[in-house]
Structure 1
C-alpha cells in the first residue's frame, strides 16, 4: 500500500515517522511551508510532492492532518486538489478536526470521483503522535476502515469505529469541548490562586486529592508548578477554533451552548490580545490580573 500524508505539522510529523518506521510503508507528503522539519522522514525514504493532486496520484491511502474544514475543503476540491489526481478506490483518511457537515460533503465529492472517505480525528497529543500511540475516532464505512487498518495501526494505540461518516468529527468536537473547557476552567482557577499567592504545589495537590483530579490537571500541573508548557504543545488559537466548531455544530442542531459560549469568550480575549500562538497551559499566566511577561 502506498501511503500519502498532507499536513506534516506537530501531529502529522509523528504520524509520518511511524508510517515509515513502524509500518514500513512507502510515504509521499505534500511539500508545504507549514510542515515541521522533514529531514527525518526524507531520511527514511519519504518523497515530497508539489500538490495534493500529486500525492493522490502516487497513493492508495492519503491521510489529512491539517487545521480545519477550510483547509480540508481546499485540499480536496481546490486547484490541483485531491480530486484532480485521485486514483479509483483511493481512501482518504481525514485526521483533522473539522465540522461534521463539511466532512459529509467532502465524502460525497470523493465518492463521486471514485474514492472512499473516512473521518478519523485524534484524541491525544503530539507526544503520542511521535510515540505512535494515538487514539482515533473513525466515522464511515466499516469495510473501508478495515482496508486501511494496517496503516492506522502503525501510529495508533486504539482505533474505534464510532458510526457513519461525520460521527468521528462530531465526537472529536464533543471530546475537545469537554477537554478544552476543563482546562480553561482550571487555568482560570490556577490564575486566581497565583494572584492570591497560594503555593502552586499545594493548589495542585488539593485538586488532585479531590474532585479536581482529572486529565486536565495532569496536563496543566507541570505549568502551574514549574512553568513547563511542553506537556501540551497545543496553540490557544487552535483551542479557540475547536470550541467555535463545537458551537457551530451545537447551533446547527439546536442544542444549548451557554457554557461553550463563555469558554469561547475567555479564549477569544487571549487570542485578540495577541497570544494565539501560546500553548494552552499558558492560559494559567494569561488569565492573571496582571499578566507576568
Structure 2
C-alpha cells in the first residue's frame, strides 16, 4: 500500500486523514499551526513532520488540503518545499478550492520533473468529511484518476471524473457559486424577516414548504432556530475567497457574472464587519445590523 503524505489538517483535512488512516494507509502529516489537533491521528499510526521536503521524500501520493491557490503554490514552490523533496512518479492530489488557470499551470510545471497532478476539490461539510462521505469532482489524466480512486473512496461517497486537469476546480467553483449564492439570498431574506418581526419558525415553515427548500436551508436551520452554527461551518472569509475565484474564472472565460459579483460583494462587506472566524450563517446577523 502506497504511503500518503498530507498537507492541511484543518476542519476538512482532519476528517479526510482520519478516514485514510482508518482504511489502513500509512500516512505522514505536515505539522502546521493551522491544523486541528493531531494527537488522535498519531495514536492511529500517522507520523508527522515539520518539513515539507521530508514529507515529499517519504510519500508516494501527496494530498493538499489547504485554503486556495496562494497556499498551494507556496507549499509546492517555496524553498524547502514539496518540489525539493518529491520523487519522480509521485502523484499530487489538490483538494483545495483554487483558480483553474493556476491549477493548469502548476500541473505543467510539476510534470516537467516527472510528477503527476490532479485536482480533486470537495463539497459538503466537516461532518461529512469525518464520516467519509464527501463529494469530489476530479480533473486530470484518466489513468492517474483510476490509480488514486481507491484512495479517494476512503473519504468520499460520490466521485465524478470531470475531465482534464483544472476541470475539477472549475466545477467546484460553479457549485460553490450556486451554494454560496443561495446562502447569501437566504441570509438576506432571513435578515429582512427578522427586521419585519417575522418569527424564525414561521419563516422556516414557509420557505421550507416552498421553492426555498434545500440543503442550504437545512444547514441554516439550526442557526435560525437557536443560533447554533455547527450546521454550516464554513468561514465567511473562505466564501469571499471562493466567490472571488469564481468571478475570476468567469471573467477569464468571458462568461456573464453580474449576479456572482453581487454575491461576492455581499461576502466582501460581511468579511469587513465580521470576526475572522465568522461562518456563513453569521451573515444573517451581520445583515440585520447592516439594515439598522
TM range (shorter): over 0.9
Task: For residue 291 of structure 1, report the CA deviation from its aligned partner.
Answer: 8.2
> Using the alignment, how far apart are the partners of 1:274 and 1:221 within structure 2?
20
Q: For the Cα contact (< 8 Å) 2:273–2:286, is it kept in 1? A: no
Q: What SS class does the counterpart of residue 282 from structure 2 fall into?
A: helix
- Would you say 1:59 and 2:63 are equivalent positions? no
Task: For residue 276 of structure 1, report the CA deviation from its aligned partner.
Answer: 3.5
Q: CA RMSD in A?
A: 1.2
Task: For residue 290 of structure 1, report the CA deviation from its aligned partner.
Answer: 6.0
**2:33 match:** 33
**1:135 match:** 135
> Using the alignment, how far apart are the partners of 2:65 and 2:146 within structure 1?
20
**2:241 match:** 241
**2:15 match:** 14
Q: How does 1:1-293 map to 2 (within 5 A)?
A: 1-21=2-22, 23-289=23-289
Q: For the Cα contact (< 8 Å) 1:67–1:96, is it kept in 2? A: yes
Normalised to the residue count of structure 1, the TM-score between the two structures is 0.97
Task: For residue 155 of structure 1, report the CA deviation from its aligned partner.
Answer: 0.8
Task: For residue 123 of structure 1, report the CA deviation from its aligned partner.
Answer: 1.0
> Using the alignment, how far apart are the partners of 2:121 and 2:200 within structure 1?
34
Task: For residue 50 of structure 1, report the CA deviation from its aligned partner.
Answer: 1.9
Task: For residue 26 of structure 1, report the CA deviation from its aligned partner.
Answer: 0.4
Normalised to the residue count of structure 2, the TM-score between the two structures is 0.97
Gaps of 5+ in 1: none
Q: What SS class does the counterpart of residue 288 from structure 1 fall into?
A: helix
> Using the alignment, how far apart are the partners of 2:158 and 2:272 within structure 1?
37
Q: What SS class does the counterpart of residue 288 from structure 2 fall into?
A: coil
Task: For residue 274 of structure 1, report the CA deviation from its aligned partner.
Answer: 3.7
> Using the alignment, how far apart are the partners of 2:289 and 2:5 within structure 1?
47
> Using the alignment, how far apart are the partners of 1:272 and 1:200 within structure 2?
26
> Using the alignment, how far apart are the partners of 2:290 and 2:132 within structure 1?
40
Gaps of 5+ in 2: none
Pick closer, same or farther for the CA change 1:124–1:222 going to 2, 3 Å. same
> Using the alignment, how far apart are the partners of 2:29 and 2:19 within structure 1?
14
> Using the alignment, how far apart are the partners of 2:254 and 2:45 within structure 1?
49
Q: For the Cα contact (< 8 Å) 2:16–2:132, is it kept in 1? A: yes
Q: What SS class does the counterpart of residue 4 from structure 1 fall into?
A: strand
Q: What SS class does the counterpart of residue 138 from structure 1 fall into?
A: strand
Task: For residue 56 of structure 1, report the CA deviation from its aligned partner.
Answer: 1.1
Pick closer, same or farther for the CA change 1:126–1:257 going to 2, 3 Å. same
Q: Deviations over 1:223-265 (max 9, x none)?
A: 1122111111110000000000001111111111111111111
Task: For residue 275 of structure 1, report the CA deviation from its aligned partner.
Answer: 2.9
Q: What SS class does the counterpart of residue 230 from structure 1 fall into?
A: helix
> Using the alignment, how far apart are the partners of 1:151 and 1:53 within structure 2?
22
